[in-house]
């Protein structure tokens, strides 16, 4: 899905993303892309299997080259998290240790509060083949587990980072759940709708649509409700006026043709 707009200011920051021994360069690139989607910028990589820099990671990043370029490489997980004050570990497997467990959504909310208090936060993600080992999970303060299909809860590395990037961004976003997308014109006013309704109803009267007089008020209300549910824009109301005009011209043309026979 295309959605890059270089005229907009990029939102960056958030928790550090720490990839522990990632295997495929492509997945590092997908991670960078997911991070950019969610406004995350600090990528740390522990012992990437294929070395660094990795051309495949750069190619897969697709617009998130700045995250790849700024990525830091570490020899151990302990080195990668040394400057952090709170660490989360994302894993799908239950562990034989007692740890607080949070959903991605709750974890993102907690991270927002921690970073708001100027604490440095990071999220650990394990290698593709086996995920985080127990020593890495033991180094974390909180485990993150996504509530997914219990029979198939394993995620690709890029997908796991995308889930956390999304929840991080949503935790600080105030976009309404439903709204009218921006276009060339705004929403139609009630006056514009009323003018259209009155014109349409007059034409329906002329063509005999309201042939049962006592039912006319109910039918008018039903027709108006149909159009009002559509949340019409100014342009759409003008288009509807054009449709009515076209039908009138066609009807008048037929009448003239018939009278000349």
| Residue range 52-88, pLDDT digits in tens | 999 999 999 988 999 999 999 999 999 999 999 999 9
**Does a structural domain hold residue 179?**
no
Answer yes or no: do 91 and 52 share one domain.
yes
**Does a structural domain hold residue 7?**
no
pLDDT over 60 (residue 22): yes
Instruction: Kindly report the pTM of this predicted structure.
Output: 0.73
**Does a structural domain hold residue 184?**
no
User: Which band of pLDDT confidence, cut at 50, 70 and 90, is reported for residue 261?
Assistant: very low
Structural domain including 113 reads 16-171
Answer yes or no: do 33 and 149 share one domain.
yes
7 Rama sector, left if φ>0, alpha if ψ -120 to 50, beta otherwise: alpha
Mean pLDDT of the chain: 90
**Does a structural domain hold residue 2?**
no
Q: What values do phi and psi take at 160, rounded to 5?
A: -60, -45
Count of the separate structural domains present in the chain: 2
Check if the beta carbon of residue 101 is closer than 8 Å to that of residue 142: yes
Kindly tell me the burial class for residue 106, based on how many C-beta atoms sit within 10 Å of its own C-beta (0-12, 13-18, 19 or more).
middle
Percent of the chain with pLDDT over 90: 76
Mapped onto helix, strand or coil, the DSSP state of residue 171 is helix
**Does a structural domain hold residue 6?**
no
Check if the beta carbon of residue 35 is closer than 8 Å to that of residue 64: yes
Q: Which of 62-71, 111-120, 172-181 has the lowest mean pLDDT?
A: 172-181
**Does a structural domain hold residue 182?**
no
Token readout for 248 is 């009138």
**Does a structural domain hold residue 154?**
yes
Q: Would you give the end-to-end CA distance of the chain in angstroms?
A: 58
CATH number of the domain encompassing residue 98? 3.40.1280.10
pLDDT over 70 (residue 89): yes
Check if the beta carbon of residue 23 is closer than 8 Å to that of residue 49: yes
Picking from 171, 204, 231, the residue at the C-terminal end of a domain is 171
Answer yes or no: do 30 and 131 share one domain.
yes
Answer yes or no: do 235 and 146 share one domain.
no
| Residue range 179-212, pLDDT digits in tens | 666 666 788 999 999 999 999 999 999 999 999 9
**Does a structural domain hold residue 176?**
no
Answer yes or no: do 101 and 158 share one domain.
yes
Q: What values do phi and psi take at 58, rounded to 5?
A: -65, -40
Picking from 125, 143, 171, the residue at the C-terminal end of a domain is 171
Check if the beta carbon of residue 77 is closer than 8 Å to that of residue 126: no
Answer yes or no: do 250 and 132 share one domain.
no
Answer yes or no: do 243 and 135 share one domain.
no
């Amino acid at each position: 899905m295309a959605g890059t707009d270089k005229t907009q200011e990029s939102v960056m920051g958030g928790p550090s993303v720490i990839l522990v021994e990632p295997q495929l360069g492509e997945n590092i690139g997908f991670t960078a892309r997911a991070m950019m989607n969610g406004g995350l910028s600090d990528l740390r990589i522990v012992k990437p299997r294929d070395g660094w820099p990795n051309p495949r990671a750069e190619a897969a990043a697709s617009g998130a080259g700045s995250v790849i370029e700024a990525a830091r490489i570490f020899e151990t997980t302990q080195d990668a998290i040394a400057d952090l004050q709170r660490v989360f570990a994302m894993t799908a497997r239950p562990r034989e240790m007692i740890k607080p467990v949070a959903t991605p959504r709750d974890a993102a909310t907690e991270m927002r509060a921690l970073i708001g208090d100027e604490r440095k936060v990071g999220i650990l993600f394990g290698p593709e083949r086996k995920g985080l080992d127990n020593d890495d999970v033991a180094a974390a303060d909180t485990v993150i587990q996504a509530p997914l299909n219990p029979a198939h809860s394993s995620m690709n590395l890029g997908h796991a980072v995308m889930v956390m990037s999304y929840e991080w961004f949503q935790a600080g976003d105030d976009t309404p759940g439903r709204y009218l997308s921006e276009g060339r014109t705004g929403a139609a006013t009630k006056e514009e709708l009323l003018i259209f309704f009155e014109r349409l109803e007059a034409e329906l009267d002329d063509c005999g649509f309201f042939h049962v007089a006592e039912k006319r008020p109910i039918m008018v209300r039903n027709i108006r409700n149909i159009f009002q549910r559509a949340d019409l824009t100014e342009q759409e109301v003008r288009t509807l006026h054009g449709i009515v005009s076209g039908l009138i011209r066609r009807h008048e043309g037929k009448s003239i043709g018939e009278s000349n026979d």
